Each structure stands twice: as structure tokens, then as C-alpha cells.
Amino acid sequence: MSKNKQTAIVPIREQNYAEWYQQVIKAADMAENSDVRGCMVIKPWGYAIWENIQRALDIMFRETGHRNAYFPIFIPKSYFEKEAEHVEGFAKECAIVTHSRLEPDGAGGLKVAGELTEPYIVRPTSETIIGASFAKWVSSYRDLPLLINQWANIVRWEMRTRLFLRTAEFLWQEGHTVHETEAEAMEETRKMLGVYATFAKEFLALPVIQGEKTESEKFPGAVTTFCIEAMMQDKKALQSGTSHFLGQNFAKSSGIRYQSRSGEFEYAWTTSWGVSTRLIGALIMAHSDDNGLVLPPKIAPSHVVIIPIYRNEEEHEQVITFAKELEKQFKQLSFEGVKIYTELDDRDLTSSERNWYWIKKGIPVRIEIGPRDIAQNTVMVARRDQEPRDKEAVAVENLVSFIPTALSAMQEGYYQRALAFREENTVEIDDKDQFYKYFTPKNSGQPEIHGGFANAHWCGSEVCEEQIKTDLKVSIRCIPFESKEEAGKCICCGKESRRRVIFAKSY
């Protein structure tokens, strides 16, 4: 084994970002491709992150008045057909169940049988099936608002997949709400986007830009789509969550009507919003480094690993006893409302082997305990946000305050680092040539990391949007809520523009 290796992950980010991403996942043992095309197996370390995401978000949903429910994974084709735009948007990526039975084929195998009278679509999203229920649940304005969330798996038959970022099956949460008025529905749409933005910041240490999608980028069937966009370390944008104002489109197609205060029948106003396991991809690409996964402590499956170091059985005994005592003390610890979990890694591997194992998994704090430490009643502490070799001797009695403090500092540090990175790579551009130059790699054969977020004027025309997409593979990520009215010239056609939008390459 070479001792000259500089980094735990090969290739490093700047050599081949896409490959680096795959290797980080593999090194941290988070997930793997399954034999089922396009589907992933989420392994315990990756799934624990998802569970932490779920736990935190679920509380936020609950606090904003939502309740969880569960709807069928199968959607009758006829439900799907009711909303024209919706059909158009998802038709090309549906898995369809047409049969209900297997029979012997006479050659030792099985053949499908029992054709269904109506095919079922495996949900790519649930607006239509949930709408059918909502139509029954809602009859009066007194039934509103109806605030429902479901945690589920969904299937979108993607042609090209990447672990966590785009898989044929993925896990997500979809909120579906029904409101009496347009204003209330719009407020809900905004509110839940805000919840996502807060969650991203507070838990994922991920700074996001909130904004509105353009007509061509919005959800099929929505009137308006809001999104949170985050910058990854290759300066590309990742849509990390969406919230849709559906107007009365789905209410009309599903028949969600209520009797108003004046006794009239009115179509309700609905919203839907979701985040998925893609957030884990965001997490990886926003924070990880050339030594592997880096996890914001508030979302990490475990926070501290204790690595006993010893030379013989006698020392082992002494060190392990000491380590177990510490582990016990740590069980009481928490930081910012998050319980601290500790690993004790006493595997028969060299200490450095164990250290690197946990570095690659992104555990925030590593604690080495050897005979020398016990003699001095200290331990050596290393943080994932510092160099692998940087260690600090900490007195044992200070650990219970040191650890939570370090975790909080790391959480904040990662956010600040990601925010600084995004700001460094966000520019205002008013010149078309400069814009094209900004998004053109110097080495076209193997493009280097380039570009970023470009704040530029856009006239609002889909023609210009499409032109830039064709020329540069750059799209309008969103029209930020924060963008203020400002006279300017469209970066593409030069016509009058009222505001800047964010252009970027995206996932």
C-alpha cells in the first residue's frame, strides 16, 4: 500500500468532479447501484442521513400544521389523463403495471398473465391520486385548509441516472394542500419553500436561493413553481426543492369543490411541494472534499468516533475500559437539540486505517485514546473540518463541553464556507460576449470546472432562454425573490428587461 497517496479520494474534485462524486459515495459506503437498472441501494450510512432529514423536516411540517397520510403507489391511467399538461410532462417517464399474475410458461419459466382492465401507473408524483381523495374529503369551506404530507417512494423512468441525484426510484416527501382562496394557496406555496430554505440552511448547512421557475422550467400542471437552488462545488446549480402553486388546475381535473360561505360551489386552490433523496446528493457535492464525505453535524448519522490505540493486550484492556467509560458519558450529550451519537471502533486494524475509514465517512469528530493519553488524562481530538493530521490534546474533563461546541462550530463553518463559495462564484454580467465566455470551458475536450451563477438581464422570452440553453447548456435556474426591479438589456437579444435572473449550468 502506497504511503504517498495525498488524498483518500481519487480522482480529486478538480481532476474529474463526476467521478469524484461517485467515489465519495463508495468510500463512505452510503449507497450502491443495484441490479435493477437506474435504482440504487441505500446503505445504512446513507439511509441514516435520509432518516435525519426526514426527522427534522417532519417536525417542521407538523409545526406548520400538516399531517402525514399515505396514498397508493398505483395510479389508474384514467386519473393521470385528466390534467393535460401533467400528462405531457410525465408521460415519457412512467413505469406502467399492466398485469397482475405470473403463470408457468411450460419451459420452466414464468409468463405474465391476468391483464388489467385499466393499466396502473407507478406514481411519478401523486397529485392526481391524492386529488381523487381530496375531492371526497372536501365539501365545505369548513374542511379547508386541508394540509397533508406523504413520505413515499416514486418512480420516474430516467434514461441516465446518478446515485442520489437522479435515480429511477427515489424517496421523497410530497405535501399536498387545499385552500379556499388563491391568496391562501399562494401563501402556503411560499411558506413551504421557506421551510425548505430554512431546513437547508439550519440542517444541511446549505445556502440556497429562493426563486420562481420560468414557464419552461416549471412543474407540469402548475401555475407557478418556486424552487430553492444551491451551488455545488463544481459551480453548477442543483435544484434542491420545489413548491408549486397549482391554481385550480388539479381542483378542476379532480373535482375538488367546496361550498363557500355564501353557499356557492367553488373550485379549491391547491399546492404541492417536495424534497427528495436528491438532498443527499446536494449535501455531498456542497461540502465534501478530496478525503471524502463531509457531513454537517446536525445531519450526521454519528458524530464522534473513539479510536483506541494500544500495543499489547494489557494496554488494550486499559484503553478499552477508558474508552467505554467515555462512550458512556457521551451518551448524555447533545448539541442544538440533536443527540450526539458515538462510535467505538476497536476493530483489529491499524489506528491510521481506522482514522481514514471515518474520515471518508465524514464523521465530524475523531478521538484517539492511547496509553499516553490515559497517563495525562487527555485525548487527541481531530475535526473533519481540519486537516487529517491536525489533532489537539483535550483534557478529558473538558470533552463534554468541547464536543458540542466543536460540532456547532463545524455546522456554522460549513454554511459560511458554502456561502462564501457561492458568493465568490456569482457574478453580474451585462455583456453578451462576456456571458458566453463565462460559460465556455477553456478545454473543451475535458471541460474544467468553470462558470458559476450569472446574474443577468432577461427579457422574458422563451426564445432567448432556449437560445442560451442550446448554445451553452446554461438555463435560467430561477427568478430570485430578492431580485429587484431594475432596467437593463436582455443578455441574449438586447431588448428591454426589468430584472435579473440567475443563469447557470445545472444538474
Considering the complex, what minimum distance in angstroms separates the CB of residue 374 from RNA? 7
Please report the DSSP string for 319-371 in residue order: HHHHHHHHHHHHTT-EETTEE--EEE---SS-HHHHHHHHHHHT-SEEEEE-H
Nearest to RNA of 33, 483 (CB atom): 33
Of the pair 7, 150, the CB lying nearest RNA is at 7
Is residue 492 classed as helix, strand or coil in its secondary structure? coil
The strand pair at 488-489 and 496-497 is best described as: antiparallel
DSSP run (H or E) holding 247: none
Provide, rounded to whole angstroms, the least separation between the CB of residue 315 and RNA. 8
Q: Which is nearer to RNA, 58 or 158 (CB)?
A: 158
Q: Closest distance between RNA and the C-beta of residue 236, in Å?
A: 11
CB of 275 to RNA, least distance (A): 9
- Which of 392/428 has CB closer to RNA? 392
DSSP H or E stretch at residue 285: helix 278-287
* Min dist. Cβ of residue 300 to RNA (A): 18
Residues forming the site for RNA (CB under 7 A): 1, 3, 5, 7-8, 18, 33, 37, 89, 92-93, 156, 158-162, 165-168, 170, 217, 219, 239-240, 242, 276-278, 291, 309-312, 316, 348-353, 355-357, 359-360, 366, 368-374, 379-380, 382, 388-389, 391, 473, 506-507
Nearest one of 507, 50, 477, 8 to 288, comparing CA atoms: 8
Which amino acid makes up residue 301? P
- Which of helix, strand or coil describes residue 205? coil
Name the grid cell of 148: 397533508
CB of 242 to RNA, least distance (A): 6
> 84: Cβ–Cβ under 8 A, 6 or more apart, which residues?
none
Distance in angstroms (rounded) separating the CA atoms of residues 405 and 86: 48
Nearer to RNA, 270 or 291 (CB): 291
d(CA 241, CA 193): 8
What region, left, alpha or beta, does residue 164 occupy, with left being phi > 0 and alpha being psi -120 to 50 degrees? left
Which of 168/501 has CB closer to RNA? 168
What is the nearest approach in angstroms of RNA to the Cβ of residue 114? 23
Please identify, using beta-carbon distances, which residue of 89 and 255 lies nearer to RNA. Answer: 89
Q: Are 45 and 29 in contact (CB under 8 A)?
A: yes
The DSSP secondary structure of 398-413, one letter per residue, reads GHHHHHHHHHHHHHHH
